[in-house]
């Protein structure tokens, strides 16, 4: 969203919504249904903001399979095959092989 705002300020308007790829079904449902349950009080402010941007068409929550969640390479300890696969999705390649 920041990049779209920056481009808009530079007279290059962004006409597409920003996708948020999410592998958590509960988070996806909360963002799209706008139903606030008592168990999620601690994220209410952030959830309101996300729901607002979804209603405005600036954000779009898209379901992604956990196995293909590219952000896992930055947030989880991965085995060599998963690391190499996700690294390839990022367009990063190394001539040596992972020897774990």
Query: pTM above the 0.75 mark?
Result: no
User: Do the Cβ atoms of 89 and 69 come closer than 8 Å?
Assistant: no
The band of 97, judged by pLDDT with boundaries at 50, 70 and 90, is: low
Instruction: Using the structure block, give the residue that is written with the tokens 């729901």.
Output: 51
Instruction: Using the structure block, give the residue that is written with the tokens 């139903």.
Output: 35
Mean pLDDT confidence for 18-32: 78
């Amino acid at each position: 969203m920041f990049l779209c705002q920056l481009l808009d300020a530079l007279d290059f308007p962004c006409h597409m919504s920003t996708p948020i790829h999410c592998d958590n079904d509960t988070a996806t449902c909360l963002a799209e249904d706008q139903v606030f349950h008592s168990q999620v009080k601690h994220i209410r402010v952030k959830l309101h903001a996300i729901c607002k941007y979804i209603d405005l068409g600036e954000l779009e929550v898209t379901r992604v399979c956990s196995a293909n969640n590219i952000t896992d390479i930055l947030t989880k300890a991965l085995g060599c095959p998963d690391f190499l696969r996700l690294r390839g999705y990022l367009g990063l390649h190394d001539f040596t092989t992972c020897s774990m």
